[in-house]
Structure 1
Amino acid sequence: MTLLLTGYEPFGDHDRNPTEEVARELDGQEVAGREIVGRVLPVEFDRAAEEMRDLVQKHDPETVVATGLAAGRAAVSVERVGVNVADCAGIADNADAEPRNERIRTEGADSESDTPPAAYFATLPVVEVVEDLLEADIPARVSNTAGTHLCNNVLYQTRHYLETAGRGAEIPMGFVHLPLTPEGAAKKAREGEAASGGGVEPSVALETQLEAIRRTFETTVEPSQ
């Protein structure tokens, strides 16, 4: 049995993305007797969801955890819900797409009447995951918004795909936002005004992020009794 983990390639002004490193580092590792399949998605609205569907079809995972970078957040954020909105908020994807206040274009929808639900809840045990991370002294929180960019898009589209395939209750799926690493925060500080008294963005060490994702899988596939 396999556990599917995805991260994203670098984007915007980030020349490194810790979620890419997490996905590559955990690829092939075992958690609770299951093998992690770690893959990196493109930061492109028109490709990311399609590639995620292909990965689910190919690997038939027991659980799906997608991850994305949320610079500025101080903790691992386990998302509760994905909404049916695509809005780049001024940050183009890596193909220069800039959707504004659009409905998400799901596979098979060809008219307004085919518009899917306004939102999908993650099916990971969101609260339990956060509680476990906090017990392990990993800064974590439940987040009620995955934004409207690629992270929300993949959460929503993957949940929609699983529901329409009749597997929504069978395969737990959710999204985890990860902060900058200390190296990433330092780089942004060097490019900013930190040496003149400016701020430094919060960060979490890569090893801690790796442990957070391992524990997310563990809590999902082996819930406490």
Structure 2
Amino acid sequence: MKKILISGFEPFGGSSINPTERLIHDMRSESFEDVEIRTVLLPVHYDECAELLLKEVRTFEPDAVIACGVAGGRTAVTPERIAINTKDVPPESVIADNRGARPQDEPIDPDGPDGLFSTLPIRAMVNRMKEAGIPAAVSNTAGTYICNNTMYALLNDIRKRQLPILAGFIHFPASTEMALEKPGLPTLSHDTMLRALKVIVRTTIDELAE
């Protein structure tokens, strides 16, 4: 039996909602033949987010890790191509992490490579989501905030330990409910994003079967 670990995040930046928290909650009731799904909710804290995810990787020993986060302002579900070795909150940004940390120009791993690529089948994911009528695109920037921090740390740990694990990060748009707090924010419905995550999981399962 294959094992897939899916992570999401708690709310941050003054919002009371993070759609990935609800997504991973709903995924617990989904079933896929010959696949065990485990989920983990991560804190929006630099370093601690990655530490908790890596602890779950060591405990669960998954065949694939699908980390999920929200990217407010995007209009499509966007698998990330690459994570960069940088923690940086721009001075003009109003968002720190949930403990108020605002690192600038700091490496995630001083001895790590500049960037690490997703090993998930991101192009196939995008193609299948589009075929299902879901807005989707490959993203070439995961930013320099918590999502990038998590993606880089995950891929770097897999690299260091030479593990046969597929891993990467998926950004989801804001949910419709978030527009109640921020009118004008581009959103997708929860049902659409849940369908997208199911497509992402099935595409990963097919990749593992090859």
The TM-score normalised by the length of structure 1 is: 0.87
Q: Does 1:116 align with 2:112?
A: yes
- The answer to whether residue 107 in structure 2 is matched with residue 103 in structure 1 is yes
Q: Deviations over 1:96-143 (max 9, x none)?
A: 1110111114xxxxxx5xx11000000001111100100000100000
Residue type of the partner of 1:104?
A: I
| 1:146 aligned partner | 142
Distance 2:101 2:193 in 1: 29
Identity of aligned residues (%): 37
Does 2:25 correspond to 1:18?
A: no
Letter in 1 for 2:98: N
Structure 1 position 10, deviation (Å)? 0.5
In the other structure, the counterpart of 2:85 is 84
In 1, Cα distance between equivalents of 2:59 and 2:31: 19
Structure 1 position 13, deviation (Å): 1.9
Superposed CA offset, 1:28-79 (max 9, x none): 5222431221110000002011101100011111110000110100000110
Cα RMSD for the two superposed structures: 1.5
Quick one: which of 213, 216, 221 aligns to 2:197?
213
CA distance in 1, matches of 2:46, 2:69: 14
Q: Is the 8 A contact 1:32 1:221 kept in 2?
A: no
Q: Hey, which bits of structure 1, 4+ residues long, moved more than 6 A?
A: none
Distance, in Å, in 2 between the alignment partners of 1:27 and 1:84 is 32
**Structure of greater Rg:** 1
Distance in 2, Cα, partners of 1:29 & 1:79: 24
How is 1:65-76 mapped onto 2 (pairs within 5 angstroms)? Answer: 65-76=66-77
Structure 1 residues without counterparts, runs of 5 or longer: 106-111, 190-199
Q: How many aligned positions are there?
A: 205
Residues of 2 paired with 1:203 and 1:6: CA distance? 20
Equivalent in 174, 181, 203 of residue 187 of structure 2: 203
Checking the alignment, whether the CA contact within 8 Å between 2:83 and 2:152 is kept in structure 1 is yes
Q: Secondary structure at the match of 1:141?
A: coil
Map of 2:175 onto structure 1: 181
What's the TM-score, normalizing by structure 2?
0.93
